[in-house]
Copies of this chain bind each other. A is one copy, B any other.
Amino acid sequence: MRFSINGEEMDRSSFWVKDWKIILLDQRRLPSETVLVELSDLDEYVDAIKTLAIRGAPAIGAFGGCAYALCLRQGCDPSDAYNRLLNSRPTAVDLRNCLDEVKLAYEKEGIQSSILKAAEIVEGTIWSCRIIGKIGEELIHEGARVMTHCNAGALATLNWGTALAPIRIAHREGRNIFVWVSETRPLLQGSRLTAWELSQEGIPHRVVVDSACGYLMRKGEVDLVIVGADRVCVNGDFANKIGTYGKAVIAKELGIPFYVAFPETTFDGDCACGDDIPIEERGEEEVLEIGGNRVSPDGSEAFNPAFDVTPGKYVTGYITENGILDRGELLKKTPGPTPQRSEK
């Protein structure tokens, strides 16, 4: 996607590398402010991931790979940098996959090779998402009403998105389509980020509270659901933003097709099933406060899991660079990029 800052047109959406620094579009401040920040050391890279200045599984994978290569170039301790980046967010596997690729290149051929590998991951992610868009757009017919959750768009990747790539391409090809945007509490990535991306491209959409998605599906207002993923397991189970599981169960109950779109970096060939995925629990204040103001009474506590796991039986198809796959085809056609796996 393209957007402009101070009149200058940008053609990469989440981050890019310039003069050995990372330039980041700060997603915490969207859509009210479009602000670029410059990051130049490990502390800043880790903080950007933890605080969701950058987010989305493929984006933090590519970002982590670049950050790691830049740390190696700065002479950081390789093991310390790897571990701190790896532990910045636990659920999305892209981060581990991309760090491992850069680490392997570094250990085999040194710093230059690790930098080239990071650049390759960036280009690969953009290319994968474009293919996902081309492959997935066949599912979105004229007049289709698509529901999505959270933000699996250009901001969550680097340029096209995963769940939003087919939507973007169907719209560019002239089809009249409509998107239901689930707001995605607690951090509102749907109403802030997905709505912003769709607005930038003039794609018709409406924001609804997460609880309204079942109502819309039951009323016949949804033709298909497409979401992204943070980790896809060998058996087809997958982790994604909290609330995905409920939408999948309701879609199945009503016979509405439910698709997951993701690039190979999101596949975890070492993870047999969803029960093995670590689920990040974030701070209670994200639930108890909104915009810095306390909502709940002072004595109340919260519980804030950031992701849930959707069993593969609820998935109609997996939209990948290798086609729209069913559960049986998933392991065969999506080996994933993990160097560790190929050594086993």
List A residues at the B interface (Cβ < 8 Å). 31-32, 181, 183-186, 188, 191-192, 195-196, 198-199, 205-216, 218, 241-243, 245-246, 249-250, 253, 287-288, 290-291, 293-305, 308-309
Q: Let me know if A188 and B295 touch, CB within 8 A.
A: yes
Cα–Cα, bound, A291→B292 (Å): 10
Q: Let me know if A296 and B214 touch, CB within 8 A.
A: no
Chain B residues with Cβ below 8 Å from A198 are 300
Q: Let me know if A293 and B294 touch, CB within 8 A.
A: no
A290 to chain B, nearest CB (A): 5
Chain B residues with Cβ below 8 Å from A290 are 290-291
Q: Let me know if A31 and B242 touch, CB within 8 A.
A: no
Chain B residues with Cβ below 8 Å from A199 are 297-300
Contact partner, A304, options B209, B243, B245, Cβ 8 Å: B209
Closest B residue to A307 by CB, please name it. B215
Closest B residue to A288 by CB, please name it. B207
Contact partner, A214, options B205, B246, B294, Cβ 8 Å: B246
Q: Let me know if B249 and A214 touch, CB within 8 A.
A: yes
Chain B residues with Cβ below 8 Å from A253 are 249, 253
Chain B residues with Cβ below 8 Å from A196 are 296-297, 300
Q: Contacts A183-B185, A205-B301, A214-B245 given; 4 further ones with Cβ under 8 A?
A: A206-B301, A207-B288, A208-B304, A218-B308
A321 to chain B, nearest CB (A): 29
Q: Let me know if B293 and A207 touch, CB within 8 A.
A: no
Contact partner, A207, options B207, B250, B300, Cβ 8 Å: B300
Closest B residue to A31 by CB, please name it. B297
Cα–Cα, bound, A304→B305 (Å): 25
**Could you give 9 example pairs across A and B, Cβ below 8 Å?**
A198-B300, A199-B297, A206-B301, A210-B210, A212-B242, A212-B303, A214-B245, A214-B308, A291-B293
Cα–Cα, bound, A215→B248 (Å): 12
Q: Let me know if A207 and B294 touch, CB within 8 A.
A: no
Residue in A199, A209, A215, A241 whose Cβ sees the most chain B Cβ within 10 Å: A209
Cα–Cα, bound, A206→B207 (Å): 27
If A185-B210, A210-B185, A293-B291 touch, whether A215 touches B305 (CB-CB below 8 Å) is yes
Q: Let me know if B291 and A195 touch, CB within 8 A.
A: no
If A215-B245, A242-B215 touch, whether A209 touches B183 (CB-CB below 8 Å) is no
Q: Let me know if A296 and B31 touch, CB within 8 A.
A: yes
Q: Let me know if B212 and A243 touch, CB within 8 A.
A: yes
A283 to chain B, nearest CB (A): 13
Cα–Cα, bound, A249→B295 (Å): 28
Q: Let me know if A209 and B206 touch, CB within 8 A.
A: no
Chain B residues with Cβ below 8 Å from A31 are 296-297
Chain B residues with Cβ below 8 Å from A294 are 32
A339 to chain B, nearest CB (A): 32
Cα–Cα, bound, A241→B32 (Å): 30
Residue in A195, A243, A300, A301 whose Cβ sees the most chain B Cβ within 10 Å: A300
A49 to chain B, nearest CB (A): 21
Q: Let me know if A183 and B287 touch, CB within 8 A.
A: yes
Chain B residues with Cβ below 8 Å from A183 are 185, 287, 295
Q: Let me know if A302 and B243 touch, CB within 8 A.
A: no
Q: Let me know if B246 and A211 touch, CB within 8 A.
A: yes
